[in-house]
Amino acid sequence: MKSFRRLVYPYLVWAGLLIVLPMLIIVFYAFSTEGNSVIPVIFTFENFARFFSDSIFMEVLLRSVKLAFITTVVCILLGYPAAYFIARLHPDKQEIMVLLVTLPQLINMLVRTYAWRGILLNTSFSPELKVYIGMVYNFLPFMILQIYTSLSKMNPDLLTAANDLGCDEKTAFLKVTLPLSVPGIISGITLVFLPAVSSFFIPKLLGGGSYVLVGNLIENYFVTTGDWNFGSAVSLIMTIVILISMYFTKKFDYDKEAI
């Protein structure tokens, strides 16, 4: 057993260097600012006060959460029927449909977004609608695959038993199929909401620079202005928002299991 535990060490080193260390650096920059020749670094809450005291930054944060929320809801509304349709096909046809869903994912997301930029370039759509189209297109497969996985694992005998007990197709779906697919919906929400709320290149490419989200804000302060302290504070705030979102989605999943 001890010999197998050693196999974990490379992963721990990798996680420490690529996950823990960068997060510690972000926390350090977020709670500090440049000092003077005597005290090179001054620890302060000024970066966070600057973010919450300026209504523009709060507006960008709320816009990002709104975008991710609407994107997630649309992906559920489009993804559940698609996943349900695939799950009811013959197993051979299911494999083909799953391949068709995952095939676009083999192309880099940036390339796919550039393709949509060309498609939407001469349309009269608003920058906001273009961003929503790009978001839903890029993240919809994650929702479909997660819901399909839950539906494909469901025992068909449960529906047969529901029919024998007098349930029609609609009631069987609401009482059996939908509750059993909740874990897939929760996983899909996690895989869609979290990357959508922090996305930066989709709004940048499809929004034409007029639709700024938190991801664009962080990129601007790190790359353009070079204000790593404020950029780190915004990143840390965004991390907290994501962790809170994960907590509520997991809590909702646990509540469903308890029921």
Give 136-147 as a DSSP string: HHHHHHHHHHHH
Give the per-residue pLDDT at 257.
55
For the segment 75-95, the average pLDDT, to the nearest whole number, is 92
For the segment 32-48, the average pLDDT, to the nearest whole number, is 78
Give the per-residue pLDDT at 36.
59
Task: Report the alpha-carbon distance of residue 152 to residue 155 in Å, rounded.
Answer: 8
| Residue 126 three-state SS | coil
Give 164-218 as a DSSP string: HTT--HHHHIIIIIHHHTHHHHHHHHHHHHHHHHT--HHHHHHSTTSS--HHHHH
Q: 97-125 pLDDT, tens per residue?
A: 999 999 888 888 889 999 999 999 888 88
Give the largest CA-CA distance in the chain: 81
Give the per-residue pLDDT at 259.
46
**The model's pTM:** 0.84
Strand-pairing partners, residue 98, are none
Task: Report the alpha-carbon distance of residue 232 to residue 201 in Å, rounded.
Answer: 18
Could you give the count of Cα atoms lying within 13 Å of 44 in the half-sphere of its Cβ?
13
Q: 188-229 pLDDT, tens per residue?
A: 998 999 889 888 888 888 987 777 888 888 888 888 888 889
- Written as six digits, the tokens of 182 are 């909740």
Pairing of strands 41-43, 32-34: antiparallel
Judge contact between 230 and 47, C-beta under 8 A. Answer: yes
Where are the chain's structural domains? 56-258
Q: Which CATH number fits domain 56-258: 3.30.360.10, 3.40.50.1000, 1.10.3720.10, 3.40.50.970?
A: 1.10.3720.10
